[in-house]
Structure 1
Amino acid sequence: MSEKSSTNPGAAGRAPAADRPTALRNVVLVGHSGSGKTTLVEALALASGAVNRAGRVEDGGCLSDYDEIEHRQQRSVQLSLVPVDWGGVKINLLDTPGYADFVGELRAGLRAADAALFVVSAADGVAGATRMVWDECAAVGMPRALVVTHLEAARSDFDEMTERCRETFGGEDPDAVLPLYLPLYGTPGADGHAPVKGLIGLLSQRVFDHSSGERVERAPTQDELPLIERARNRLIEGIIAESEDESLMDRYLGGEEIDIKTLIGDLETAVARGTFHPVLAAAPAGDGAKQGLGTVELLELITGGFPTPAEREAPAVTGIDGGPREALACDPDGPLAAEVVKTSSDPYVGRVSLVRVFSGTLRPDETVHVSGHGLEDRGHEDHDVDERIGALSAPFGKQQRPLSRAIAGDLACVAKLTRAETGDTLSDRDAPLLMEPWTMPDPLLPIAIEAHSKADEDKLSLGLSRLVAEDPTLRLEHHPDTHQMVLWCLGEAHVDVALERLRSRYGVQVDTVPHKVALRETFGEAASGRGRHVKQSGGHGQFAICEITVEPLPGGSGIEFVDKVVGGAVPRQFIPSVEKGVRAQAARGVAAGYPLVDIRVTLLDGKAHSVDSSDAAFQKSGALALREAAADARIDLLEPVAEVTVLIPDDFVGPAMSDLSGRRGRVVGTEQSGAGRTLVRAEVPEIELSRYAIDLRSLSHGTGRFTRSYARHEPMPPQLADKMREESANGA
């Protein structure tokens, strides 16, 4: 932040450690896929001396893309932590996936961080989903800065991208989003694109020249000074506008030259408060260079401008009984309160938990209380147990570097927490706490799976339980009606990664099968039926006859059984048997094999035999009577209808409503939901929503969100119902 000419105040090859919260910075990198987040993390690690020029740690392990699945997919699919040291400050860099399917990993990174670095590509622009994350950060007051990457691309333009960032992220105050440096361009090449050879500091009016392969500080030439005057004046005015010294603006407008130390101090304060968002530039290091363009400036911004963990408010906590507790303070000597922000499995050490410590100090081999976390509907059980933790370590690529402790504000990996899952709270066993959970996206893409073989079937349950323990954005459902095992995911890429993890980590191969929607059957009109079950095969025979009527009832009524037998035609002890038979047949269905609902069955008459009648015979008779009634009546298929809410930018409201109508949906209302966004409420058959998570993302360019909840079952259109009956008859 001070725009000084630093070489490398970090310690190469040494695992960074922190002995106090003020020597910590937790920074999450946010940006769309391909914006250059991972490349930037590696560049920062190189500039700090954490890795060598080849991008490898001292013993040769690769820093990034070390996960086998990430390597195959050639994109980040999980949150990764890279700790580096700069000037005695430990910086925990949290690299998040940019693809929408892995937004759960992004949310975990936001939870663990105290500031956010938004990475935007000068070649690709700002993605709509990135703006949504910016708004989330703004809602909680998280400090933010922006880094423009891909300046080496032929079509890149730093000035244009800066203006776009001001328009996109500045809101009502675009002067709160301003560059601290301007790129210094070299001679244009044959394609007309001028390469970036350095940066010009707007406050210091110093040039940081990389044209020689090293970062060299010098004074600007007479030709370079006019390039920065307008941008420098705008930056100074933006900083002064955020200053707590109200006299500063009058002094500046009066022609007084404001001391640069005062400006830098006010800038750092405004950045830490989250009211000013500096824009910086970054480009990869050239051959043999130790520092990429903009990396030193970024490290100085992080250490000088971003807040320490002690300056950020910790999540609220309660007792495990829900009772109030004092707010947490970032104090290494305070009560232990930590949270599992990520869970992964290592083939050698087992489950590894990435933990953010908010209060107290976490030490190896101590016993802690594990509590959490309210996601039972997704297959994650609540926890209230004591566990002995294993070793503490700092991740670095595939390595785990041992730590003797993790103080308040720090992050560390904890081994052998066999019960803890993502979102769980770790606290003192004598004073257990429960931390307020962060919001997780609801998985809305259903994938029905089956074990590939008998051997896979034996391992499937354990593999799935471990899979959902790692990823709270997955939901596992064993549907009672369709008898399918359904894995609910966030998108197709999420599905691919989940199934690949099942195969590669847990040795379970599964096949995907068509997802079935839980249909129902009902009588479309009144009918009557006679069930006659008479058999004689030596010894006691079987004799039971009953006569029933069936009437349709309003939706949601279930099955109502009425006894109107007179004169003892059906002995009193066998009437429950008839009802049992009727209900059993209703559960099996009478037309297409779907459960029968919303009917009233009235038992009117029947016959019995003093010797051959039995409970089993009258159960069979009741089932036969219901089937006969169905044979002469119109049977309607009922499909589930969901209440759907779609939150979408105003520009996409028309296409979204047209799409819902094409899914046989009924739009029941719209309302404004903040600036530039509309909430659309609709009722849509669930059979039309199987791929809606994917289609809405495509339609809205990743900016639309939706929720769904079961409303009721409704009659299916006759043409579609006939198709479903045909598929059922063919065993589809």
Structure 2
Amino acid sequence: MSADLSLYRNIGIFAHVDAGKTTTTERILKLTGKIHKLGEVHEGESTTDFMEQEAERGITIQSAAVSCFWKGYRFNVIDTPGHVDFTVEVYRSLKVLDGGVGVFCGSGGVEPQSETNWRYANDAEVSRLIFVNKLDRIGADFIRVTEQVKKVLGANPLIMVLPIGREDTFKGVVDLLTQKAYIWDETGQPENYEVTDVPADMADDVEMYRTQLIETALEQDDDLLMAYMDGEEPSIDDIKRCIRKGCRDLAFFPTYCGSAFKNKGMQLLLDAVVEYLPSPTEVIPQPLTDEEGNENGQHAIVSADEPFRALAFKIMDDRFGALTFIRIYSGVLNKGDTILNSFTGKTERIGRMVEMYANDRIDLTTAQAGDIIALVGMKNNTQTGHTLCDPKHPCTLEPMVFPEPVISISVTPKDKGSVEKMGIAIGKMVAEDPTFRVETDVDSGETILKGMGELHLDIKVDILKRTYGVELVVGQPQVAYRETITREVEDSYTHKKQSGGSGQFGKIDYRIRPGEQNSGFTFKSTVVGGSVPKEFMPAIEKGFQSMMSTGTLAGFPVLDVEIEVFDGGFHAVDSSAIAFEIAAKGAFRQSIPKAGAQLLEPIMKVDVFTPEDHVGDVIGDLNRRRGMISGQEAGVTGVRIKADVPLSEMFGYISSLRTMTSGRGQFSMEFSHYSPCPANVAETVIAKEKEKKAAAAKN
């Protein structure tokens, strides 16, 4: 018998670093009976931060999935990272969630990473609640944070509660709907509270905010709104129904407050997850796609009666073995079933499947649509974004698209014993993280690790050293430069080789021109009259495209090039696919320098928070780093400065910022776009690459 999907809530907890996401998750687990002793992030004991690196740094790196129950409802909760270098975890979690809780710091407000995660959630059309945390902190102000949410995020917070007391006198909240006060004692136990009448000094505020709440909610139902305007008071159930609709439609975001650390306000948040966030059957079904990734008009209907369809959204290797986390969108999966990976075309029998409780697990014999579970020990190279389905009903769910790495470092094992260990470890790490790439430098033979930022690679090196015991020598961070062209060239190239026996011949006339930004590589044929037979066009395209990985300036990958073949020639005997592929490669080498080859550098979107008295120093420093200031905004506790800065100028920035601001500054950055390098920078980079290649050639 299948479970009632209306009782499921698949939710994510996400926010800025240090807003209290993981502590909030811990409190949810305590209240739902999943843990008995509370672990604190600042003590390195939290349940969902179970990597050694997470416990030490007090940040969440991987998305930990936890199942629990509240008042008869099943919650699948995912605690996601707040640091910008790990937003891939947020992105892929949002892909499989139905709702979320955005946690904001009561004193810090809408901090840099809050914006990035909020934007991702908007793109994924995920319904959210807002929880303003840490109201016991000095400088905490619930209403100010809600105003920031409006101004900075362009969102509409629907205030559901008001805090009782401020900062160290914060002791509870007033529920605006029921007009009841929830007051906790100072034992820190979440169940130690009493429900009382609204404090007399808050009566006017409660009436004002309750009126705003009702008017905003009833905009979801014209009939109820008209009746209310005529003086008819709506029922609590009618108001809740309108809030639920508005929340699901992203018209507004029900907003709560409290102190997760002191266990105040959490029950109302959990009740809101039940009341207002959607069940799996209430969200838009996932679209199915064709082999090229284009939607085909079909959807994975969330029902246990449909064929089995699931998305692998995370691969993880831990002390128990390899885990493949999946979200089941439709159908039922039983232990022993055979499933198809539609990407690899391989089938596999399910040996073990488990429900996750952070770093612990419970074995399952069956799971169904709406469930988030982990499969143990899959062997056929299932990767993040792969679709798993019923072999009798093959399909492909909309895939995940991940950003390209922008920073790299070289690593060299110190001894022979570490070489094999490093190879095995890196293989596992690449499978776990789609934004972590590994290559071998063809000239030096060094292993190159590529990632999304300094902290990202710092953590990876730390894992290699401590988790896998690999002794390493680590090189300096390197920027992922790119090359492109700036003008159109019309050219011709002939590949001719005749040395007895069958020869090779291929002639192409072509135009090579700059493509649209972010277009990558574009190829088209306008040949008429059969001067180059159609069957050779794929080989020509392959030849050109294979050269895009190595530019002519400094050997960096080439971006945004369009190639048009308009004429050519062939020989009835000597022409072949390989001959035309070689011709295309020669044509690329010949024409790229003529087309105004140009070096591009990655530009990062930088978001800095600084106390007001250090603004001048911070802006001056960003200008010296070739940064372009795009905006600044004064807040209660300091100033936020936004800038576009070349990645090459940002290495070690956190140390400089802390020095300038006496340790009080914060920043986040994410990749924005590629931009032409200034001539002096390009000359230095190109010369350095040539020196490196020359040194490697000598060795």
Task: Please say whether Structure 1 and Structure 2 have the same fold, judged by a TM-score greater than 0.5.
Answer: yes
Distance 1:127 1:346 in 2: 32
Distance 1:426 1:401 in 2: 22
SS of 1:119's partner is strand
CA gap 1:663/1:464 in 2 versus in 1, 3 angstroms? same
* Partner of residue 398, structure 2: 436
Residue 184 (structure 1) aligned with residue 173 (structure 2): no
SS of 1:433's partner is coil
* Partner of residue 449, structure 2: 487
The AA in structure 2 aligned to 1:209 is I
- List runs of 5+ in structure 2 lacking aligned partners: 483-487, 504-553, 556-595, 610-616, 631-640, 658-665
Distance 2:195 2:152 in 1: 33
The AA in structure 1 aligned to 2:307 is P
The AA in structure 1 aligned to 2:253 is H
* Partner of residue 369, structure 1: 340
* Partner of residue 642, structure 1: 600
Displacement of 1:442 in angstroms is 2.1
The AA in structure 2 aligned to 1:32 is H
CA gap 1:336/1:659 in 2 versus in 1, 3 angstroms? farther
CA gap 1:366/1:689 in 2 versus in 1, 3 angstroms? same
CA gap 1:455/1:430 in 2 versus in 1, 3 angstroms? same
The AA in structure 2 aligned to 1:139 is D
The AA in structure 2 aligned to 1:369 is L
Displacement of 1:645 in angstroms is 6.4
- Percent identical among aligned pairs is 24
Residue 235 (structure 1) aligned with residue 207 (structure 2): no
CA contact (8 A) 2:60 2:82 kept: yes
SS of 1:92's partner is strand
SS of 1:435's partner is coil
**CA distances 1:191-210 after superposition (whole Å, capped 9, x unpaired):** xx542111111121111121
Residue 256 (structure 1) aligned with residue 232 (structure 2): yes
CA gap 1:106/1:311 in 2 versus in 1, 3 angstroms? same
Displacement of 1:262 in angstroms is 1.5
CA gap 1:250/1:694 in 2 versus in 1, 3 angstroms? farther
Residue 198 (structure 1) aligned with residue 160 (structure 2): no
* Partner of residue 333, structure 1: 305
CA gap 1:693/1:265 in 2 versus in 1, 3 angstroms? farther
Displacement of 1:283 in angstroms is 1.3
Distance 2:679 2:399 in 1: 33
Largest Rg, 1 or 2 = 1
Distance 2:492 2:461 in 1: 38
Q: Equivalences for 1:220-369 in 2 at 5 Å?
A: 220-241=198-219, 243-244=220-221, 246-284=222-260, 292-318=263-289, 324=296, 326-348=298-320, 350-369=321-340
The AA in structure 2 aligned to 1:456 is S
Which of the residues 381, 387, 392 maps onto 1:425?
387
CA gap 1:320/1:343 in 2 versus in 1, 3 angstroms? same
Q: Equivalences for 1:151-162 in 2 at 5 Å?
A: 151-162=135-146
Displacement of 1:247 in angstroms is 3.2
SS of 2:298's partner is coil
CA gap 1:402/1:558 in 2 versus in 1, 3 angstroms? farther
The AA in structure 1 aligned to 2:349 is R
Distance 1:216 1:439 in 2: 48
* Partner of residue 409, structure 1: 370
CA contact (8 A) 2:286 2:398 kept: yes
SS of 1:317's partner is strand
Residue 33 (structure 1) aligned with residue 33 (structure 2): no
Distance 2:286 2:324 in 1: 19
Which of the residues 183, 195, 198 maps onto 1:209?
183
Once structures 1 and 2 are overlaid, which stretch shifts more, 690-699 or 418-427?
Answer: 690-699
CA gap 1:152/1:367 in 2 versus in 1, 3 angstroms? same
CA contact (8 A) 2:342 2:396 kept: yes
CA gap 1:347/1:559 in 2 versus in 1, 3 angstroms? farther
Once structures 1 and 2 are overlaid, which stretch shifts more, 304-313 or 194-203?
Answer: 194-203
CA gap 1:558/1:640 in 2 versus in 1, 3 angstroms? farther
CA gap 1:422/1:219 in 2 versus in 1, 3 angstroms? same
Displacement of 1:124 in angstroms is 1.4
Distance 1:322 1:360 in 2: 22
The AA in structure 1 aligned to 2:169 is P
Residue 472 (structure 1) aligned with residue 438 (structure 2): no
CA contact (8 A) 1:647 1:706 kept: yes
CA gap 1:400/1:451 in 2 versus in 1, 3 angstroms? same
CA gap 1:205/1:719 in 2 versus in 1, 3 angstroms? closer
CA contact (8 A) 2:80 2:93 kept: yes
Displacement of 1:344 in angstroms is 0.9
Q: Equivalences for 1:589-600 in 2 at 5 Å?
A: none
Residue 103 (structure 1) aligned with residue 83 (structure 2): no
* Partner of residue 115, structure 2: 131
**CA distances 1:667-719 after superposition (whole Å, capped 9, x unpaired):** 9xx9xxxxxx9998x9xxxxx85565886999994355324499999996499
CA gap 1:115/1:322 in 2 versus in 1, 3 angstroms? closer
Q: Equivalences for 1:685-724 in 2 at 5 Å?
A: 690=648, 701-702=667-668, 704-708=670-674, 717=683, 721=687
Distance 1:661 1:727 in 2: 33
Displacement of 1:98 in angstroms is 0.7
The AA in structure 2 aligned to 1:454 is K
* Partner of residue 85, structure 1: 69
Distance 2:489 2:651 in 1: 28
Distance 1:305 1:384 in 2: 40
SS of 1:486's partner is strand
CA gap 1:18/1:105 in 2 versus in 1, 3 angstroms? farther
Displacement of 1:318 in angstroms is 3.1
CA gap 1:559/1:22 in 2 versus in 1, 3 angstroms? same
Distance 2:679 2:494 in 1: 18
**CA distances 1:275-297 after superposition (whole Å, capped 9, x unpaired):** 121110121465xxxxx222111
SS of 2:299's partner is coil
Distance 2:655 2:147 in 1: 27
Distance 1:232 1:385 in 2: 57
CA contact (8 A) 1:343 1:352 kept: yes
SS of 1:262's partner is helix
The AA in structure 1 aligned to 2:272 is L
CA contact (8 A) 2:163 2:258 kept: no
Distance 1:225 1:727 in 2: 75
The AA in structure 2 aligned to 1:432 is P
SS of 2:139's partner is coil
Aligned residues: 566
CA gap 1:62/1:648 in 2 versus in 1, 3 angstroms? closer
Displacement of 1:482 in angstroms is 4.8
Distance 1:693 1:656 in 2: 15
* Partner of residue 219, structure 1: 197
Which of the residues 413, 416, 420 maps onto 1:454?
416
The AA in structure 2 aligned to 1:366 is D
SS of 1:326's partner is strand
- List runs of 5+ in structure 1 lacking aligned partners: 1-16, 187-192, 287-291, 373-382, 521-553, 564-571, 577-593, 596-637, 671-676, 683-687
Distance 1:194 1:415 in 2: 47
Displacement of 1:720 in angstroms is 8.4
CA contact (8 A) 1:35 1:149 kept: yes
TM-score, length of structure 2 as denominator length: 0.71
SS of 2:30's partner is helix
Displacement of 1:415 in angstroms is 0.2
TM-score, length of structure 1 as denominator length: 0.68
